[in-house]
């Protein structure tokens, strides 16, 4: 068997070498490289290749995924034997299906880390003939009771001669409206206020109405969120990029966390912002589906009109990217244009954002991704990339059933896993670490800070498990997502006569019952873990409780923060000591496998 596995990996290596060489030479899908003359005829500039697509990354991921699953299944069957009862077959097959999903996302994370190095684009910048040739740009700033002066100031302070700022204000409180009006009075020639009274149609309707009204007639438009700070040269650089190829529908800027509030909570998440933006988006220029992410982005108005405007859904940015691709345009991620965005200021805001984005991604998959997958114009890589992106949070819902299946299997088959299947153990370790790989690669030179960062990120996202599960159920029942403004200073005005579905769509993730239910779930897991001496499961339960403990007693107080350190150490210890037979069940190494979908760095 060892010879067979070794030969299998040898053949896999040879096959992948052929794939990589072949697909680096060819381009696939609806966007292929054009010659210089053709590109020039379409209004682009010859010599630059910004948006051609290669299937290399996803062919590599899927090949590794399929072959490794077969090898792991054979390895596990030879080590543990086949299930002896129908019930055990049922449990093992379901658990294996969950692991297959988690393993796909593990390879997806490693693929992004690898192709972040391979897929970097450094195009030469072609300057226009003169300042008079720079296109007119409408710069749109949006706010809903979360106006930030520094963000709006970055809009009017652009190093660009031909633009105008439109302030879309849908604030429900007097404070937000007054802030917008005061800012407009300081810059009356550079700004125009576009105001809406009610929160209807989400951000998409506000943008569509503004672009049909006062912002109509501009060749390009740019978007800035309430807490976003644009780089001073954002418009100038983005305009140069988008003019390189008439098929580029938008240019998405890179982001860091420079506009964030500094406090004991946010310091743990500031560093990951740019790490996440670069590793998730750089490879997509050539190996996936570049996404418009709603802020710090320049859009071609012609492409906007052909796409039919922004779809009125919560994740209007991703849905619009798909609609634009249907219209024949692609996006480009400009790594060298670095704007700033804010991270949630506290645990409640982050929980609210995670809940909202989970519903939004599920809605986007159902309404927009599924039809896109059927499109003949999109490439293989684009289809797999948007599917992986929009399904990742939804896949989080598998984690609790997966844990239940592991526990049930261990109780039904008391003699299982008395011998370590080390191929499966390595699989568990790799899957558990995959979501944190980009952080490890970026911060390995400072191990102490890296450990603190990993422990906090792990605990915070694990603590949101129940909320993401409820968000998915809420969408399935309500059949729509609802926009919860992360940093709003006031609550939305009450609406009478809400239907049951509307009430479910508007569930508050910070409500006492939802947080309490999450605590109860963690305590139940803790009881089961202590009963079975399962260190990894004890760590998981403590990880679910740690953010609440730190929020109560202080994020910088060592005794409270130590709960996060202990949680991560217990998970790692269980994953290592379990297979060695030192303490607890051997299958502890399978507990963190689901982190590949739960932890969103």
Confidence of residue 584 (pLDDT cuts 50, 70, 90): confident
Average pLDDT, integer, range 462-475:
90
Average pLDDT, integer, range 525-532:
92
Tell me what pLDDT residue 560 has. 86
Tell me what pLDDT residue 109 has. 94
Average pLDDT, integer, range 241-264:
86
Between these two residues, 552 and 207, which has the higher pLDDT value?
207
Residue 362 dihedral angles phi and psi, to the nearest 5°: -65, -45
Confidence of residue 493 (pLDDT cuts 50, 70, 90): low
Between these two residues, 36 and 134, which has the higher pLDDT value?
134
Task: Give the CA distances from residue 88 to residues 71, 96, 129, in Å, rounded to whole numbers and listed in that order.
Answer: 21, 12, 72
CB-facing half-sphere around the CA of 508: CA atoms within 13 A: 9
Tell me what pLDDT residue 65 has. 97
Domain spans of the chain? Answer: 2-109, 131-343, 395-492+505-598
> For residues 91 and 255, is the Cβ–Cβ distance under 8 A?
no
> For residues 442 and 256, is the Cβ–Cβ distance under 8 A?
no
Tell me what pLDDT residue 42 has. 47
For the chain, the average pLDDT equals: 84
Confidence of residue 552 (pLDDT cuts 50, 70, 90): confident
**Residue entry with tokens 């720079």:** 134
Other C-beta atoms closer than 10 Å to the C-beta of 85 total 10
**Residue entry with tokens 């682009």:** 44
pLDDT at 335 over 60: yes
Tell me what pLDDT residue 20 has. 39
Residue 589 dihedral angles phi and psi, to the nearest 5°: -65, -15
Tell me what pLDDT residue 41 has. 44
Confidence of residue 394 (pLDDT cuts 50, 70, 90): confident
Scanning 369-511, the segments in alpha helix (DSSP H) are: 370-373, 380-395, 399-412, 422-434, 437-443, 447-463, 465-478, 500-505
Torsion from C-alpha of 526, 529, 530, 535, nearest 10 degrees: -110
Residue 139 dihedral angles phi and psi, to the nearest 5°: -100, 115
Tell me what pLDDT residue 23 has. 42
Confidence of residue 14 (pLDDT cuts 50, 70, 90): very low
Residue 472 dihedral angles phi and psi, to the nearest 5°: -65, -45
Tell me what pLDDT residue 436 has. 87
Between these two residues, 147 and 24, which has the higher pLDDT value?
147
> For residues 355 and 467, is the Cβ–Cβ distance under 8 A?
yes
Spell out the residues 6+ positions from residue 357 whose beta carbon is closer than 8 angstroms to its own: 315, 393
> Distance between CA atoms of 171 and 198, rounded to whole angstroms?
9
DSSP category for residue 257: S
Task: Give the CA distances from residue 521 to residues 7, 459, 515, 545, 551, in Å, rounded to whole numbers and listed in that order.
Answer: 45, 15, 10, 10, 19
- Which pTM value belongs to this model? 0.86
> Distance between CA atoms of 224 and 141, rounded to whole angstroms?
5
Between these two residues, 280 and 22, which has the higher pLDDT value?
280
Average pLDDT, integer, range 299-326:
94
Confidence of residue 180 (pLDDT cuts 50, 70, 90): very high
Tell me what pLDDT residue 247 has. 93
Out of 142-151, 303-312, 487-496, 578-587, least confident range: 487-496
Between these two residues, 107 and 342, which has the higher pLDDT value?
107
Tell me what pLDDT residue 569 has. 96
Spell out the residues 6+ positions from residue 194 whose beta carbon is closer than 8 angstroms to its own: 166, 167, 168, 169, 206, 209, 210, 213, 214, 215
pLDDT at 40 over 60: no
pLDDT at 346 over 90: no
Range 8-28 burial, b when 16+ CB lie within 10 A, else e: eeeebeeebeeebeebeeebb
pLDDT at 9 over 50: no
User: What percent of the chain stands above pLDDT 90?
Assistant: 51
pLDDT at 485 over 50: yes
Residue 337 dihedral angles phi and psi, to the nearest 5°: -95, 105
137: tokens are 């740009």
Tell me what pLDDT residue 581 has. 85
> Distance between CA atoms of 339 and 352, rounded to whole angstroms?
23
**Residue entry with tokens 């790799």:** 430
Scanning 187-227, the segments in alpha helix (DSSP H) are: 202-212
Tell me what pLDDT residue 8 has. 41
pLDDT at 564 over 60: yes
> Which of 44-53, 311-320, 405-414, 497-506 is most confident?
311-320
Tell me what pLDDT residue 414 has. 55
- String of DSSP letters for 115-178: HHHHT---PPP---S-GGGSPPEEEEEEESS---HHHHHHHHT-S-SSEEEEEEE--SSHHHHH
Instruction: Judge: domain 131-343, CATH 3.90.550.10.
Output: yes
pLDDT at 32 over 70: no
> Distance between CA atoms of 327 and 248, rounded to whole angstroms?
11
pLDDT digits (tens, 9 = 90+) for 510-520: 999 999 999 99
pLDDT at 6 over 60: no
Between these two residues, 404 and 39, which has the higher pLDDT value?
404
Confidence of residue 416 (pLDDT cuts 50, 70, 90): low
Tell me what pLDDT residue 131 has. 61
pLDDT digits (tens, 9 = 90+) for 76-96: 888 888 888 899 999 999 999
> For residues 534 and 541, is the Cβ–Cβ distance under 8 A?
no
> Distance between CA atoms of 134 and 161, rounded to whole angstroms?
8
């Amino acid at each position: 068997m060892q010879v067979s596995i070794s030969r299998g990996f040898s053949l896999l290596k040879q096959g992948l070498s052929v794939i990589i060489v072949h697909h680096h030479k060819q381009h696939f899908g609806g966007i292929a490289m054009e010659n210089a003359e053709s590109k020039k005829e379409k209004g682009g500039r010859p010599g630059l290749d910004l948006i051609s697509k290669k299937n290399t990354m996803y062919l590599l991921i899927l090949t590794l995924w399929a072959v490794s699953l077969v090898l792991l299944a054979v390895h596990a069957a030879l080590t543990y034997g086949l299930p002896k009862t129908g019930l055990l077959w049922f449990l093992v097959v379901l658990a294996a299906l969950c692991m297959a999903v988690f393993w796909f996302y593990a390879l997806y994370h490693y693929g992004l880390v690898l192709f972040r190095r391979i897929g970097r684009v450094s195009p030469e910048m072609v300057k226009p003939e003169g300042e008079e040739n720079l296109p007119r740009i409408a710069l749109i700033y949006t706010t809903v009771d979360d106006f930030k002066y520094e963000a709006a100031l970055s809009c009017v302070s652009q190093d660009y001669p031909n633009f105008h700022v439109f302030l879309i204000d849908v604030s429900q409180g007097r404070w937000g409206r007054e802030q917008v009006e005061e800012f407009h009075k300081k810059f009356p020639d550079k700004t125009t206020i576009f105001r809406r009274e009610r929160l209807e149609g989400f951000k998409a309707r506000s943008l569509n109405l503004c672009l049909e009204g006062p912002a109509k007639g501009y060749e390009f438009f740019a978007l800035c969120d309430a807490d976003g700070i644009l780089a001073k040269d954002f418009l100038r650089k983005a305009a140069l990029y988008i003019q390189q190829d008439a098929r580029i529908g938008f240019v998405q800027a890179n982001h860091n966390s420079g506009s964030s509030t500094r406090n004991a909570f946010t310091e743990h998440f500031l560093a990951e912002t740019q790490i996440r933006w670069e590793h998730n988006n750089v490879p997509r220029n050539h190996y996936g589906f570049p996404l418009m992410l709603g802020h710090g982005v320049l859009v071609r108005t012609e492409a906007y009109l052909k796409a039919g405007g922004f779809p009125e859904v919560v994740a209007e940015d991703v849905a619009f990217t798909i609609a634009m691709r249907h219209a024949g345009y692609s996006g480009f991620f400009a790594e060298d244009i670095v704007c700033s965005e804010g991270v949630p200021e506290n645990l409640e805001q982050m929980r609210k954002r995670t809940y909202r984005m989970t519903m939004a991604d599920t809605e986007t998959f159902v309404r927009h991704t599924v039809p896109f997958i059927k499109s003949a114009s999109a490439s293989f890589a684009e289809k797999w990339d948007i599917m992986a992106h929009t399904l990742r949070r939804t896949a989080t819902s598998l984690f609790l059933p997966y844990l239940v299946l592991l526990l049930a299997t261990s109780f039904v088959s008391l003699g299982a896993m008395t011998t370590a299947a080390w191929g499966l153990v390595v699989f568990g370790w790799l899957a558990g670490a995959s979501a944190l790989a980009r952080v490890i690669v970026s911060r390995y030179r400072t191990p102490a800070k890296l450990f603190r960062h990993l422990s906090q990120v792990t605990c915070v996202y694990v603590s949101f498990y129940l909320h993401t599960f409820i968000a998915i159920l809420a969408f399935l029942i309500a059949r729509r997502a609802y926009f919860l403004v992360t940093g709003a200073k006031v609550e939305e005005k009450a609406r009478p006569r809400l239907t049951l579905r509307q009430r479910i769509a508007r569930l508050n993730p910070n409500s006492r019952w939802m947080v309490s239910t999450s605590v109860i779930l963690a305590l139940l897991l803790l009881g089961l873990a202590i009963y079975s001496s399962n260190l990894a499961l004890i760590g998981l339960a403590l990880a679910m409780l740690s953010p609440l403990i730190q929020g109560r007693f202080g994020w910088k107080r060592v005794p409270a923060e130590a709960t996060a350190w202990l949680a991560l150490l217990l998970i790692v210890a269980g994953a290592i000591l379990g297979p060695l037979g030192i303490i607890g069940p051997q299958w502890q190494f399978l507990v963190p496998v689901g982190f590949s979908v739960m932890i969103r760095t």
